[in-house]
Amino acid sequence: MGRGLPGADPFPAGEHHRSAPGREDQMLTLTTPLDAPPTAPRHAVEPAPAPQASALRFAVKHAAGWLLALVAVVVLLPLLLVIAAAVKASSPGPVLYRQRRVGRDGRTFDILKFRSMGPAPVEARDFRPTAGSAPGGVEGTDRRTPVGKLLRRTSLDELPQLLNVLRGEMALVGPRPERPEFVEQFSAEVDRYADRHRVRVGITGWAQVNGLRGQTSIADRAAADNWYVDNHSLWLDVKTLALTARAVCRAAE
């Protein structure tokens, strides 16, 4: 979710790669998870120690996000059922696609999407992105179904992730989650990549609404994600959701 806005700068003027200072009397170190259940399995790559962040602000963020996700599921239920029927009729296979991803504090979970592609040939499973680029988009042979192309263009394939939000695995806004094998690779190659796992991952993110989605620079994406974490505010979440909605509407035109 979150169509990119080409040419946009993910760092406001004067804010490039700058961490927001925090006051210890008002902040809480995020070494104790605020998000995923304590029994969830952890991925081998652990993020660096989290910066101080407002416990109250994140509590409000996740409570509001959960309620919005619940309302969205209820309101969008007819659309979700229509999409599910279209996916089922378009090609053989399950309606939902599940893939292992890495979330808050390195915990793994199954991200949900409407299936948009046909079965992957064996060689497609060994896809590796170009050096310096993130995976995503069409990886190798284009296996998108006709319905899947529409879902991808409008980001409607991401709607089942509202269930991930209700399960406490994701937020509406946050760094986009990646596959475990790529998390290990990028954590070793990209400065502060693992730091983006200090907060709950999101359906849409600051990097994505600034054009860093699909096979774009992984270093720039990590920098934008960390800028979002270091400078988080509820207003920044609202702005990100508004930019996401605008980009999705433009893609649907």
CA-wise closest residue to 114 among 139, 145, 136, 141: 145
Dihedral sign for Cα 137, 244, 113, 225, please. Answer: positive
Q: Does an H or E element contain 114, and which?
A: strand 108-114
Residue 122: count of CB within 10 angstroms of its CB: 6
pLDDT (tens digit per residue) in 35-80: 444 344 455 455 554 444 477 888 899 999 999 999 999 999 999 9
Residue 71: count of CB within 10 angstroms of its CB: 11
Tokens found for residue 24 = 């210890």
Q: Does an H or E element contain 239, and which?
A: helix 234-252
**Which residue is it, tokens 């029927």?**
85
Residue 98: count of CB within 10 angstroms of its CB: 13
Tokens found for residue 154 = 């409008």
**Nearest 10 degrees: Cα torsion 21, 27, 33, 34:** -110
Sites in the chain below the pLDDT cut of 70:
1-9, 11-53, 120-141, 252-253
Burial-class residue 240 by CB neighbours within 10 Å (0-12, 13-18, 19+): buried
What integer pLDDT is reported at residue 32 of this predicted model? 36
Judge contact between 218 and 186, C-beta under 8 A.
Answer: yes
Q: What's the N-to-C CA distance of the chain in angstroms?
A: 16
What integer pLDDT is reported at residue 135 of this predicted model? 55
Confidence (pTM): 0.75
Taking the domains of the chain in order of start, what are their residue ranges? 41-47+71-252
* Rounded CA separation 94/35 (Å): 29
